[in-house]
């Protein structure tokens, strides 16, 4: 019931973050065993900076992008030369109690049945930073008591271009030295 250093967990969010950190290595190992059985090589990833890509790739990106990097949980290489970032999300089985006193209880709805929309930008950054040989990403949704689901998200270059255009515009208007964005920034924009 206490975080590292003896501080008590005060929110279910803190408990969930601690759960995800503690379970990540086991999830990566389980996925590595599954992927190795299918002739893939699974590697440690570390930081994948966008600036490490060939100049020809960088020149095709929108101008004004801030420094971008990605750190997938692993990199998967296939015999045909393709490469995929791998990302595991461990969904904590803890929720706030439905009782008068504050507490946590176990409530495990199971792994996701698809890639949640809030994970898509992270997966797209992973794919972008791995370069042109990467046309998809692997996403593992893990439950504490109900197993795991593995998904492949294919790269959509049109969507990626729109996201990068947004990032460049946001960095220009609200990056270093610029004022913060107002509430509901870009709400109602046609783009």
Weakest mean pLDDT among 14-23, 78-87, 169-178:
14-23
| 3: pLDDT strictly greater than 60 | no
Weakest mean pLDDT among 13-27, 31-45, 163-177:
13-27
Report the candidate in 89, 180, 174 with the shortest Cα–Cα distance to residue 138: 89
Question: Using CA atoms, how far apart are residues 26 and 33, in angstroms rounded to an integer?
Answer: 11
Report the candidate in 53, 22, 43, 23 with the shortest Cα–Cα distance to residue 138: 43
Question: Using CA atoms, how far apart are residues 73 and 85, in angstroms rounded to an integer?
Answer: 8
Report the candidate in 27, 185, 169 with the shortest Cα–Cα distance to residue 111: 27
pLDDT in tens, 59-101: 999 999 999 999 999 999 999 999 999 999 998 887 777 777 7
Question: Using CA atoms, how far apart are residues 87 and 24, in angstroms rounded to an integer?
Answer: 9
Q: How many CB atoms lie within 10 A of CB 116?
A: 12
Report the candidate in 120, 105, 109 with the shortest Cα–Cα distance to residue 149: 109
Q: What pLDDT was estimated at residue 185? A: 74
| 40: pLDDT strictly greater than 60 | yes
Question: Using CA atoms, how far apart are residues 12 and 141, in angstroms rounded to an integer?
Answer: 19
Question: Using CA atoms, how far apart are residues 24 and 18, in angstroms rounded to an integer?
Answer: 10
Q: What pLDDT was estimated at residue 30? A: 93
Q: What pLDDT was estimated at residue 182? A: 85
> pLDDT tier at 5 (50, 70, 90 boundaries)?
low
> pLDDT tier at 9 (50, 70, 90 boundaries)?
confident
Q: Answer yes or no: are the C-beta atoms of 84 and 136 closer than 8 Å.
A: yes
Q: What pLDDT was estimated at residue 36? A: 95
pLDDT in tens, 93-144: 877 777 777 677 788 888 999 999 999 999 999 999 999 999 999 999 999 8
Q: How many CB atoms lie within 10 A of CB 97?
A: 13
Question: Using CA atoms, how far apart are residues 151 and 144, in angstroms rounded to an integer?
Answer: 18
């Amino acid at each position: 019931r206490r975080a590292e250093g003896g501080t008590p967990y005060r929110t279910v969010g803190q408990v969930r973050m601690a759960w995800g950190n503690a379970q990540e290595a086991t999830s990566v190992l389980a996925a590595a065993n599954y992927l190795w059985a299918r002739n893939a090589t699974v590697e440690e990833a570390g930081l994948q900076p966008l600036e490490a890509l060939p100049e020809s790739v960088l020149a095709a990106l929108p101008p004004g992008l801030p420094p971008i990097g990605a750190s997938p949980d692993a990199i998967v290489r296939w015999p045909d030369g393709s490469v995929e970032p791998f990302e595991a999300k461990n969904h904590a089985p803890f929720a706030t109690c439905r009782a008068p006193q504050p507490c946590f209880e176990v409530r495990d709805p199971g792994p996701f049945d698809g890639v949640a929309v809030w994970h898509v930008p992270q997966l797209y950054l992973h794919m972008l930073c791995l370069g042109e040989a990467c046309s998809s990403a692997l996403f593992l949704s893990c439950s504490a008591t109900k197993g795991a689901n593995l998904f492949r998200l294919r790269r959509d270059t049109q969507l990626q271009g729109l996201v990068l255009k947004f990032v460049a515009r946001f960095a220009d208007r609200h990056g270093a030295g610029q004022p913060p964005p107002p509430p509901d920034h870009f709400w109602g924009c046609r783009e």
